[in-house]
Amino acid sequence: MDYLELSDRLKNYLLLIEKETGLPVKIFQSPDLGIKGARAAFNYHPDYTVVVLNTSEPRLSVDVERSVAHEATHGYILHKLGFCRAVFTEEATDDVKKKVNVLFSMVEDLTVNRIIPEHGFPPFGSEYLPMLKKEIEVASQGETQGEEFYSNFTSDMEFEDIIMVSRYILAWGFLKYYPLPSGIRSTLQKFLDAYSKAYPHHYPHARKVKEIIIKHNVFTAEGECWSMQEIIKLWGFEGVVKTVSTKDIKF
């Protein structure tokens, strides 16, 4: 990592993750993470915690640091806490894998974004609220405009639906599970209200995911594993993916 000077805070946090998981953290750079607009990703590897950064766009160093802390924490909850990950059958296409991975991230992010503030990193980056305000504006114009906006990230309608649902769950999770200043809370609430009115073809999916998350304690490995099994079924992917824990978790 020559372009990125890690702060002592991040170095210490990554050392802690290495110690807790017993696995080295590796940071790679790539101009393409497979999802348009994605700035960072966690890649599962049995022997490492792999963080991949998209370095094609300039970002504030505080956001890059938060991204590294966020993605490495995905490794922590999988390797140390035994959260489930997706294991695919041979029939699973790259397309399905991409979709399922976004569904897993959506649920894991609730826990990840709760852990990183305990180590001095913000729950979301400086890019999040401006984007959310844009999304409120788009939703207020109706479903066609909304779908057109999210189609900038993919031309696949099912994937677009999954991305839209994950945007709802992220905002809803911040509002439900995190202590945030009232100005931010009201922006999050505005987005959820606009979304539920604007997207009759997507909100019912988001609502079902929300109900599954509320039913289980997704901040534990068991709760996350159960939730993921149910969420995978919502999209009909259960034939090509299994939810597997690195630990002997009963679920």
Residues found near Zn ion in the complex (CB under 5 A): 105, 109
Residue with smaller CB distance to Zn ion, 67 or 194: 67
Residue with smaller CB distance to Zn ion, 170 or 194: 170
CB of 1 to Zn ion, least distance (A): 20
The CA distance from 241 to 75, in Å, is 20
CB of 86 to Zn ion, least distance (A): 14
| DSSP reduced 3-state for 245 | strand
Residue with smaller CB distance to Zn ion, 109 or 224: 109
CB of 118 to Zn ion, least distance (A): 16
Q: Which amino acid is at 136?
A: I
The CA distance from 147 to 47, in Å, is 39
| Residue with the CB atom nearest Zn ion in the bound state | 109
CB of 161 to Zn ion, least distance (A): 19
CB of 88 to Zn ion, least distance (A): 19
What sign does the CA torsion over 47, 98, 35, 169 have? negative
Residue with smaller CB distance to Zn ion, 163 or 198: 163
Tokens (6 digits) for 40: 């960072």
43: left (phi over 0), alpha (psi -120 to 50) or beta: beta
Q: Which amino acid is at 32?
A: D
Write out the H or E segment, with its range, that includes residue 9: helix 8-21
Tokens (6 digits) for 51: 């963080």
Residue with smaller CB distance to Zn ion, 72 or 194: 72
Residue with smaller CB distance to Zn ion, 96 or 169: 169
CB of 2 to Zn ion, least distance (A): 25
Structural contact between residues 188 and 128, judged by C-beta atoms closer than 8 angstroms = no
Angle between helices 182-198 and 203-215 (to 10 degrees): 130
